[in-house]
Amino acid sequence: MLQPTGSAVSCCCSSSSCSSYCRRCDLLTGLDGFHVLGAESRRGVLFVTIESADRIEGCGSCGVVVIGHGRDEVELIDRPWAVGPVRLIWRKRRWLCVEPSCPVGTFVEINPDVAAPRALLTSRAVAWAVRQMRRENASIAGLARQFKVAWRTVWRAVEPVLAAADGDERRFDDVRALGVDEHTRHHGDPRKYGPRMMTGMVDLTPGPDGRPRARLLDLVEGRSGAVYKQWLTARGDRFTSKVQVATLDPFHGYKNAIDDGLQDAVAVLDAFHVHALSSQMVDEVRRRVQQQTTGHRGRKNDPLYGIRRILRASEHNLTDRQRARLTAAFTADPAHEEVYWAWRIDTELRAAYDATDPRKGRAIARRLLHTLRTCPIPEARRLGTTLRRWRDAFLAYWTERGASNGGTEAMNGLIELARRVARGIPNPDNYRLRMLLVTGALDTVLNP
């Protein structure tokens, strides 16, 4: 058993008075085949000395049974435990090959379950750090504080693991629905921090429950159709031939890339962005009429200014008081009739997306495409022009079971959160690997 010796604790089982190691102490370390010789606390760090059990070992080169040739002590950074930071003092066995013709001579024991050769962190410390980053959104700086080491020490141990998982092509398997959206990596000076915009590709394939299993596939520097097309080309026919649905926001660069690189996929215009265009149209009409009737921007007691927020709500969510305020504002001046009809167009578009029967929703959408062509309200007519330009992708929403870019926007939210936790990540390569991890892109490989 462990016996106290001042600030240190040693194990009597390693002495001649005991024939075996202390099983209780060995159990606490959680390393199969290793025994605890002692423990000591220095400057808030727990140092635990371990060694492997006696065994017969053969030379890796010639196979001859080797003999013991002393020990080498190696200090490793282990995952935090109990009182805080932990260091393992591994008394590695050194072996001597007695075969004269063998070129090996002497060598030390290697156990990847404890640590990789020449590693500073134990294997389980690296795995713990990866899990903390993935599940708890921990920053490298936060992990470094818990390990009581430098930031660079942690990142140098974690980065090869993430890079190896990133290079595993299995994470691109079975992608049948693909989303794309732009992402802002930083808001600083591009001359100092590099390109500001990135393009993110997200797997939106429905899972067993029918809901999309949103996970980030990749982040690429730049925001253009060429960037997206180049990424699709790099994936090859094995990937692109399986994609059946490709969602996007109203950006023709991405649409051109889909038409060229995903010829068998159906492009679907994201419902959220169509809603945003429609709401923007209503607000533009309201502000224009406000200026024409009052000669100034909206003020507190202006009828149209007072309903600016209500106009953004769905009609079926309005209270009786809100309906009364809308009616009062619409009838306050004959010129306000344009705002009323713009709001009705927005309400009709919402009804198309809210329809439980896809055929009914598609019929409403087709009717809007036809009527907006001759609408006397210029902002509404411009909306109709945009939707007709995207006609096939717009109507595909109702034929592809409501496919949307919602999962892509969710990934953007996770990325933004991780960036705020880290207080910015200047290096674009580090940024990409970190975001692939926190969004679940590497789960199929790492299984953290």
Taking only the tens place, the pLDDT of each residue in 137-146 is 999 999 999 9
Q: Are strands 215-221 and 34-42 parallel, antiparallel or unpaired?
A: unpaired
* pLDDT for position 71: 85
Burial class (CB in 10 A: 0-12, 13-18, 19+), 126: buried
Number of residues that make up the chain: 448
Across the range 189-203, mean pLDDT stands at 89
Percentage of the chain beyond pLDDT 90 is: 62
pLDDT class for 14, splitting at 50, 70, 90? Answer: very low
pLDDT class for 227, splitting at 50, 70, 90? Answer: very high
> What number of H helices and E strands is found in the chain?
18, 12
Determine the Cα–Cα distance for residues 89 and 37; give it in Å rounded to an integer. Answer: 10
Q: Are 369 and 384 in contact (CB under 8 A)?
A: yes
pLDDT winner (highest mean) among 54-58, 378-382, 413-417? 378-382
* pLDDT for position 217: 94
* pLDDT for position 300: 87
Mention every residue, 6+ apart, whose C-beta is less than 8 A from residue 415: 183, 200, 216, 435, 438, 439
Query: pTM of the prediction?
Result: 0.81
Q: pLDDT, tens digit, for every residue of 327-346?
A: 999 999 999 999 999 999 99
* pLDDT for position 98: 83
* Residue whose tokens read 């809007």: 368
Assign a CATH topology to domain 170-270+404-446: Nucleotidyltransferase; domain 5 (3.30.420)
Across the range 401-413, mean pLDDT stands at 89
Higher-confidence residue: 59 or 284? Answer: 284
Q: Is the pLDDT of residue 434 over 60?
A: yes
Percentage of the chain beyond pLDDT 70 is: 95
The end-to-end CA distance of the chain, in Å, is 35
Q: Cα 433 vs. chain centroid, distance in angstroms?
A: 9
Identify the CA nearest to 44 among candidates 7, 76, 74, 15. 7
Question: What are the residue ranges spanned by the domains of the chain?
Answer: 2-119, 170-270+404-446, 271-398
Across the range 314-323, mean pLDDT stands at 92
Is residue 327 within a helix (H) or strand (E), and if so which, with residue range? helix 320-330
Q: pLDDT, tens digit, for every residue of 93-127?
A: 888 888 888 888 888 888 888 888 889 999 999 99
Q: pLDDT, tens digit, for every residue of 249-288?
A: 999 999 999 999 998 999 999 999 999 999 999 999 999 9
Q: Are 427 and 153 in contact (CB under 8 A)?
A: no
**Average model confidence (pLDDT) for the chain?**
88
* pLDDT for position 20: 60
Determine the Cα–Cα distance for residues 163 and 309; give it in Å rounded to an integer. Answer: 47
Identify the CA nearest to 83 among candidates 45, 35, 134. 45
- Catalogue the long-range contacts made by 263-270 (C-beta closer than 8 Å, 24 or more residues apart): 264/240, 265/178, 265/240, 266/396, 266/399, 266/400, 267/392, 267/393, 267/396, 268/393, 268/396, 268/397, 268/400, 268/403, 268/404, 269/390, 269/393, 269/394, 269/396, 269/397, 270/404, 270/405, 270/406
Across the range 61-66, mean pLDDT stands at 80
E strand map for 82-141: 84-96, 106-108
